[in-house]
Chain A
Amino acid sequence: MTARGTALLVALLATLAGYLWVVERRPAPGFPAEPAPLLAVPTAAVARVELVEGERRLTAVRGERGWTDAAGRPWSQDPVSDLLAALGALRPLATVDPDPATPGDYGLGPGGPRLELAAADGRPLLALELGERNPAWTGLYARRAGEPAVLLVGGVLAWELEKVRQAAPGGNP
């Protein structure tokens, strides 16, 4: 092959490589970003948990000797820790409705159950409105306070909340 032919082939190769580089190169498809867990800080940062359901307010305050209620009575076993562990692991399964016209359809709205977590300095770490179970019972509706979007959260949260209710010291009124 002549030098001219070689040069032509090299030029053709360079053109094809350029085409592939500029036209065909696409960013590799990535996995969709996983939503953040409901509780985005380490569970050790939580110093106060409040579950408000109508007139009933369950309070757990972290102290040197474990969790106590607002009156200083100890919580039995570790349902509060289990709840925090669940919140630290659970990620919303789906955004069911980004801006519902009637949040009451999901059991959400003023006066509904609320779960609030705060740090030792009182800084809010999580505030969730809690709604109803979905029809298949696989999860429950919730939304972050101040945000309109209705989220579907795994049903294990309902289980952990029930454990907290059952464990409340002396009924924890």
Chain B
Amino acid sequence: MRLYLRLCAAILAAGALTAAADEQPWTLDASNWEKGKDLLPEPVVKLLQKGEYWFKVVSADPGKFHHNYSQAFWDATEKNAGKYDLDEKTCGLKDKATDKIPDFVFGLPFPQVDKADPKGGCKIAWNFTMAGAMGGGGGATFTLNGVDTGGQFRRIKAFIHTRGYQGRHFGPLKDNPEGLAGEGIGGALEPVDVEGVSTLTKRYWNWEGQDAVWAYVPSTRRARRVNSASRSDPVAGLDIFADDLNCYGGKVEYYQWKLVGEQTILAPLLQPYPFPSKSVSPTRQLIDTPYMPAGYEVPNAKGAPWWIQQNLVFVPRPVWVVEGQSSDPYYNFGKVIMYFDKEMYRIYWKQVHNRAGEYFYTAMCGYHFVKNDETFSAVFPNLVVGVNDKTNRAALGGRFQSSFLEQSWDPSYFSLRTLTHMTD
């Protein structure tokens, strides 16, 4: 009898998968907005209903989507079952064998998350962090575009380069004298008034340490240490924040996390399945991706000027709904509501309240996957559409057409010397 029930369940599941994969792409817009009211955050539904937004909905085969990450990643995830716990005080990742922070982690540290687990939110945040780290580092040159109802009012061209020490596919790097989880350097390239303004960030692999962040302004020729809570400050006066990278850019330990629900949501992706990469050196791979023009760049475009018009699809995905809140008094955000993919652990949307409890901002975070074989994969954040509903302005970040993965940066690259000499 039990076997019969299992067989029936398997047939039904297979049928459901096939049906999902076979479903034709369809458009969700103002004419059928009711179909999307449970698939999007509430402020977004409001804009859908008004005709400002519309969505090209594409189904993805769940099995194939799962394999957007390498088999090596999933094998490591399986092996991680039962190995890790969380530090009670900080929500830091703890190796059960040593009661200390683990030396190196690859794969999702918590393959199973129970929705009744009080630590579920923090475990989800750790899975998110480690899934994002699998590529090991790389970079891209991208734009930040400030857009209001009249069109674009500011454009900044910038770059970001990163190196990860944790979560990388091919094991830990030999040298990590500073005990880092990762580091990054970013800078503005255009326009001239911000050219050379740059930052260096070092994230420490510990439970209580703050990020070390330095900012460099060419006119003063000084690198100044800044508070890591500045991740909640607007970038260059735009409606976008450093914490929008991947929809959350801080250390897991910075927030108190609470798992509050689950649902299905429309996940913004360049395409449902991976892009290939091409090797340009023994350590570097390039990935070409299409540009995503927004309404202000397309003649006679419909909807909000900041809404993406082409090369973006929305895949219905099961998500955890998680609240995050910082206790840092210098951090500007209050309660942040985030929607994490239950399997791939990407955050697709977040709603942000200020410290007075006033909702003001929604960010949509788009991604693309990169994979050539089952030994390596990566997931890139390629788009943030940040919309400030209080001011009715938006900012677009990302939309790069070329990015790279780098496995072996010059050891001295992520340094104050690089930061202060970039404009020489």
Contacts from A to B (Cβ < 8 Å): 77, 79, 82, 86, 89-91, 93, 136-139, 153-157, 159, 163, 166
The 4 closest A-B pairs by CB, nearest first: A154-B357, A155-B359, A156-B357, A154-B358
Q: How large is the interface on B (under 10, 10 to 19, 20 to 34, 35 or more residues)?
A: 20 to 34
| Nearest B-chain residue to A76, judged by Cβ | B116
Q: Which residues of B contact A159 (CB under 8 A)?
A: 335, 337, 351, 353, 359
Given known A-B contacts A137-B43, A156-B334, A86 and B357 have beta carbons under 8 A apart? yes
State which of A90, A137, A163 has its C-beta within 8 Å of the C-beta of B359: A137
Given known A-B contacts A154-B353, A155-B353, A163-B260, A138 and B335 have beta carbons under 8 A apart? no
Known A154-B356, A155-B358, A163-B260; 19 more pairs at CB < 8 Å: A77-B116, A77-B260, A89-B357, A90-B357, A91-B356, A93-B356, A137-B42, A138-B389, A139-B358, A154-B354, A154-B357, A154-B358, A154-B359, A155-B357, A156-B334, A156-B357, A156-B359, A159-B351, A166-B261
State which of B46, B335, B358, B389 has its C-beta within 8 Å of the C-beta of A93: B358
B250-263 vs A: 1/0 string, CB under 8 Å? 00000000101100
- Asked if B89 lies at the interface with its beta carbon under 8 angstroms from chain A, I say no
Q: Which residues of A contact B46 (CB under 8 A)?
A: 137
Contacts from B to A (Cβ < 8 Å): 42-43, 46, 116, 258, 260-261, 334-335, 337, 351, 353-354, 356-360, 389-390, 392
CA distance A166 to B359 in the complex (A): 20
Q: Which residues of B contact A79 (CB under 8 A)?
A: 260
Q: Which residues of A contact B390 (CB under 8 A)?
A: 136, 138
Q: Which residues of A contact B389 (CB under 8 A)?
A: 136-138
Q: Which residues of A contact B261 (CB under 8 A)?
A: 163, 166
Q: Which residues of A contact B42 (CB under 8 A)?
A: 137
Q: Which residues of B contact A89 (CB under 8 A)?
A: 357
Q: Which residues of B contact A163 (CB under 8 A)?
A: 260-261
A selection of 23 A-B contacts at a CB cut-off of 8 Å is A82-B258, A89-B357, A90-B357, A136-B390, A136-B392, A137-B42, A138-B359, A138-B389, A138-B390, A139-B359, A153-B357, A154-B353, A154-B354, A154-B357, A154-B358, A155-B357, A155-B358, A156-B353, A156-B358, A159-B337, A159-B353, A163-B260, A166-B261
Q: Which residues of B contact A139 (CB under 8 A)?
A: 358-359
CA distance A139 to B357 in the complex (A): 8
CA distance A86 to B389 in the complex (A): 21
Q: Are B260 and A138 in contact (CB under 8 A)?
A: no
Minimum CB–CB distance from A32 to chain B (whole Å) comes to 14
Q: Which residues of B contact A77 (CB under 8 A)?
A: 116, 260
Q: Are A157 and B43 in contact (CB under 8 A)?
A: no
CA distance A8 to B335 in the complex (A): 66
Minimum CB–CB distance from A1 to chain B (whole Å) comes to 52
CA distance A154 to B351 in the complex (A): 13
Q: Which residues of A contact B116 (CB under 8 A)?
A: 77
Minimum CB–CB distance from A80 to chain B (whole Å) comes to 13
Q: Which residues of B contact A153 (CB under 8 A)?
A: 357
| Nearest B-chain residue to A159, judged by Cβ | B337
Minimum CB–CB distance from B364 to chain A (whole Å) comes to 16
Q: Which residues of B contact A91 (CB under 8 A)?
A: 356
Q: Which residues of A contact B353 (CB under 8 A)?
A: 154-156, 159
| Nearest A-chain residue to B357, judged by Cβ | A154
Minimum CB–CB distance from A165 to chain B (whole Å) comes to 12
Q: Which residues of A contact B335 (CB under 8 A)?
A: 156, 159
CA distance A144 to B335 in the complex (A): 24
Minimum CB–CB distance from B107 to chain A (whole Å) comes to 29
| Nearest B-chain residue to A154, judged by Cβ | B357
Minimum CB–CB distance from B54 to chain A (whole Å) comes to 19
- Among A93, A137, A157, A163, the one with the most B-chain Cβ atoms within 10 Å of its Cβ is A137
Minimum CB–CB distance from A134 to chain B (whole Å) comes to 10
Minimum CB–CB distance from B381 to chain A (whole Å) comes to 25
Minimum CB–CB distance from B2 to chain A (whole Å) comes to 30
Q: Which residues of A contact B358 (CB under 8 A)?
A: 93, 138-139, 154-156
Minimum CB–CB distance from B256 to chain A (whole Å) comes to 12
Q: Which residues of A contact B260 (CB under 8 A)?
A: 77, 79, 82, 163
- Among B260, B357, B392, the one with the most A-chain Cβ atoms within 10 Å of its Cβ is B357
| Nearest B-chain residue to A166, judged by Cβ | B261
Minimum CB–CB distance from A71 to chain B (whole Å) comes to 22
Minimum CB–CB distance from B257 to chain A (whole Å) comes to 13
